[in-house]
Amino acid sequence: MARKSKTKLPPASVFVDALRTLDAHPIQRNILIAQYHFPKHAATARQLAAVSGFKGFPASNLAYGLAGKHVSEHLQLKPPHWSASDPNWWSMLSKGDGSHSEFTWIMHPPVAQAMQLLGWVNDDDAVLLPGENPVADDLTEGASLRVSVNIFERSPEARRRCIAHYGCRCVVCGFDFAKVYGEFGEGFIHVHHLIPLSEIDEEYVVEPIRDLRPVCPNCHAMIHRKSPPLGIDELMEILQEV
């Protein structure tokens, strides 16, 4: 059983700046994004490894611990220790549940809230990428809203039609959540805009089959590692060379 954290956690507003340090560590950032989208933000290392592209859970354990270390160091908070020389870094991000067959991380609410404030995630899709915000209910996209930066409306109906045509299998790497998680993974996939809405800067009617493609969270993140984003074919070429 994991030792309970005695470290008082800061509010979400404080976690925001700490989590920004993970922008320089996309693997660690993406593993938190993956965890966020599990029910109740709870996942095992094995589950996170499967959706994050790791070969096994030891690698996801390491990435998760490093994410907690970066956040702890930014906050200048000392996590509890398993021993005098073994800090429990992950406890800054989650509480642990060892009552099941596999140890589970359950994300602290302030961490999940900070990820929402950063625009990393939302509750309708997985990664909320720069320049995108899911609010529209028809096929009109791109209506600019003024918050602190320009964001653009996304259409749930366009997403539905894209998936109806292409299915829920990633068009880049072929990952299929239903094959890995069974019924639990049915219907889960990201939808990528081939032309970023932030580059259009005007309202337009999206054509789901022409303009959208289903991609897994890992490939979606890799596409948006560059500005402008990589093309689907470019990322496929990179993947084939690995």
H-type helices in the chain, by residue range? Answer: 12-20, 26-36, 45-52, 57-75, 109-118, 156-166, 177-181, 197-200, 208-211, 217-223, 232-241
| The pair of three-digit structure tokens given for residue 100, joined into one six-digit string | 């099941």
* Residue of 230, 224, 213, 223 lying closest to 170 (CA atoms): 213
pLDDT 10s digit of each residue in the chain, 242 long? Answer: 344 445 678 899 999 999 999 988 888 888 898 888 888 899 888 888 877 777 778 888 899 999 999 999 999 988 776 555 578 889 999 998 888 788 899 999 999 999 988 888 765 444 444 334 433 334 444 443 333 223 333 466 778 888 899 999 999 999 999 888 888 888 888 888 887 655 554 555 678 888 899 999 889 888 888 778 899 999 999 988 87
pTM above 0.75, yes or no: no
